Amino acid sequence: MGLFDFFKKKQETAEAQEALDKGLEKTKEGFFSKITKAVVGKSTIDDEVLDNLEEVLVMSDVGVTTTLKIVDRIQQRVARDKYVGTEDLNRLLKEEIQALLAENNSNDFETFEYGAHKPYVIMVVGVNGVGKTTTIGKLAHQLKEAGNKVVLGAADTFRAAAVDQIKLWGERVGVRVVAQPMGSDPASVAYDTVKSAVANGDDVAIIDTAGRLHNKVGLMNELTKIKNVMQKVVPGAPHEILLVLDASTGQNAIEQATQFTQATDVNALALTKLDGTAKGGVVIGISDQFKIPVKYIGVGEKIGDLQLFNKKDFVDSLFK
């Protein structure tokens, strides 16, 4: 790496950190003002403080299951270390959340480089309105910036707006889009996209799918059909089934994750709209509950504000 590249990389890292800090502002404000109230007038972490902390975590959309784990860990630490003052609560909380996330055994993703498969096929799932198409566009941009040749497949053929949006993102980012007329078979679009990616020597193919959850059996059948036709062209495809969730919906995002993980083999998560919500704690709950790596987080409106999720950086930023 040359000197110019080194400084460019350093600047990009600093900008990404700044965007993350800014994106988590609302969550931090809500979270810490509640914690401050939880310990007011207390000098030690007693049962009442722990009860208050439990309430704060649940209200921050960490989720009941994960909250109970965190509070139990802190209770054990307090019992072990004795005389732990309330001023230590933030440090203990940060350490235990980081430890909990580290135990999920999912590695953080360092770059937007996917060298193991070519084309690397990503199938994107999620309900309408969560920022699915925007995530696809921003991801295509990041992948292209990292030197990948990218193609998008507009397989959400039930909504004209979805196909138009993908086409607009393709133009904006400068990547090819494979589309068919409205109402076409989604599996046919996915097949064409992957076939085109192979013929064109593309590095990554990203396939959008319809965001309907009202009939899980129908959704399951459709996604299975899409997977099967892609495997005829690229054995093992899709390599990534990316579920996009809107962090601002809190517990609803956890419910959607439950539904989609039952319908298909989700192996990566993207959490969007973290900047617009005080419910950033949902990232901790989802990461812990589903044991599926959170791979991307959306922390702002800008095209570069889709970031690779780093557990330590996220918790550091939350407690800054």
Query: Could you tell me which residues are annotated as the binding site for GTP?
Result: 126-133, 208-212, 272-275
The three-class DSSP label of residue 237 is coil
CA-to-CA distance for 230 and 240, rounded, in angstroms?
A: 12
Contacts of residue 63, defined as CB under 8 A and 6 or more positions apart, other chains included, come to 251, 254, 282, 284, 285, 286, 288, 289
Binding-site residue numbers are 126-133, 208-212, 272-275
Q: Minimal CA–CA distance to 309: which of 280, 273, 274, 270?
A: 270
The DSSP element (H or E) to which 168 belongs, if any, is: helix 160-173
Single-letter amino acid code for the residue at 196: S
Residue 178 structure tokens: 């494979």
CA-to-CA distance for 54 and 31, rounded, in angstroms?
A: 12
- The sign one gets for the Cα dihedral 255, 257, 259, 262 is negative
Burial of 62 (0-12, 13-18, 19+ CB in 10 A): buried
